[in-house]
Amino acid sequence: MNNSTSMKQVQSTTQNDEVLDVRIVNADMPALRDSDVLVRIEAAPINPSDLGLLFGPADMDSAQYSSDSGSPSIKAPIPPHLMSGIEGRVDQSLPVGNEGAGIVVSAGESEEAQALIGKVVGFSGGGTYSEYKSVRANQCIEMPEGTSPAQSASCFVNPMTVLGFVGTMRREGHSAMVHTAAASNLGQMLQKVAIEESFDLVNIVRSKEQEDILRNIGATFVCNSSSESFLPELTEALVTTGATLGFDATGGGRLASDILACMERAAVSQDAAFSRYGSTVHKQVYIYGGLDRNVTTLNRSFGMAWGIGGWLLTPYIQVAGAEELQKMRDRVSGSITTTFASSYTKEVSLTDALSKAAVDEYRKQATGLKFLINPSL
């Protein structure tokens, strides 16, 4: 049982005077309902999606770091022209952290909640850069005996997204897919799932090191966007695999457009007769991340049967329904140290996570450079 009345929590505020303020605050201990458990959080990853809430559009190269009586804070200017994009959060102090894992230290009265006491669980839902969090018992992913919180920390955002991509592929009638920024933590999981489920995955990366990472885990199709022969190689991989679905984490620039154009070339190469409207094969690219902040450019050289849309895990889960969600959760917990394993460059405390040295590292969002916050340190 935890008798404290307050706990440490990272909160991010974008102020009306165009300043971002990130600090550790003393927040109230969460209250427990009968169906809730209280988790002492011991591991929470810093994912690209967390950086959006943590730092918003602030200019972090101009950030000021300070520490009053050992408690760190960060202030950074927000370019005035970007303020309109964050109107909805101005002057609100928002708890940060999309997912995490820890040990259940107390529980509400319900049988389901009581059964989790002492267990290691993973969960999502915000505010995981905190010492404690109350979570509905039925929203916890219970980990197999012997699994540590650090091994369980990334059990939701990336694994569920990977399974959501596969579900989307099946629901929309595609048989293979293309994935960009493919040596990411998520991309490596997707490659392992593609092997397990025997579908073809065309990986797009931007360096030789990233090619090697994917080939070492069994990838067959890896195209390097920094190679001069990238577009012909991508087209060839699309002819071989018949992939007509793409998931693009970069979002900016012309990569989504290039993928559609290569899909069109691959489709047209199979057509017996020429049509000035292009191939009738539907080609779909979903932008699901914003790693490239440039404007998205479309060069419409891909006929008329195409679509570009956004893809987000939360709406997918709603479409999938409770039964599929439970299967996804069971699969993730059963393979959390294999298919869905994540590795981290560094484990840091809440305080260290707000140091300049740490921020300068993890905001690079580079391959294999993922930080884990341990709020119990």
Burial of 314 (0-12, 13-18, 19+ CB in 10 A): exposed
**Nearest distance in Å: CB 159, ligand NAP:** 9
161 sits near ligand NAP (criterion: CB under 6 A): yes
Structural contact between residues 125 and 46, judged by C-beta atoms closer than 8 angstroms:
no
Total number of residues that touch ligand NAP (CB under 6 A): 26
**Nearest distance in Å: CB 361, ligand NAP:** 12
| Sequential DSSP letters for 125-167 | SS--SBSEEEEEGGG-EEPPTT--HHHHTTSSHHHHHHHHHHH
186 sits near ligand NAP (criterion: CB under 6 A): yes
Structural contact between residues 12 and 353, judged by C-beta atoms closer than 8 angstroms:
no
179 sits near ligand NAP (criterion: CB under 6 A): no
Structural contact between residues 285 and 258, judged by C-beta atoms closer than 8 angstroms:
no
d(CA 192, CA 67): 43
184 sits near ligand NAP (criterion: CB under 6 A): yes
Q: Which among 42-50, 54-62, 108-116, 327-335 is the span making contact with ligand NAP, rule CB under 6 A?
A: 42-50
- The three-class DSSP label of residue 370 is coil
Q: By CB under 6 A, what part of segment 49-88 binds ligand NAP? A: 49
Nearer to ligand NAP, 132 or 288 (CB): 288
Residue with tokens 């991989």: 237
238 sits near ligand NAP (criterion: CB under 6 A): no
Nearer to ligand NAP, 90 or 291 (CB): 291
Task: State which of residues 289, 320, 344, 375 lies at the interface with ligand NAP (CB under 6 A).
Answer: 289
98 sits near ligand NAP (criterion: CB under 6 A): no
Radius of gyration of the chain (CA): 22
Count of alpha carbons within 13 Å of 172, Cβ hemisphere only?
A: 22
Q: Which residues bind ligand NAP (CB under 6 A)?
A: 47-49, 157-158, 161, 181, 183-186, 206-207, 249-250, 288-289, 291-292, 311-313, 365-367, 370
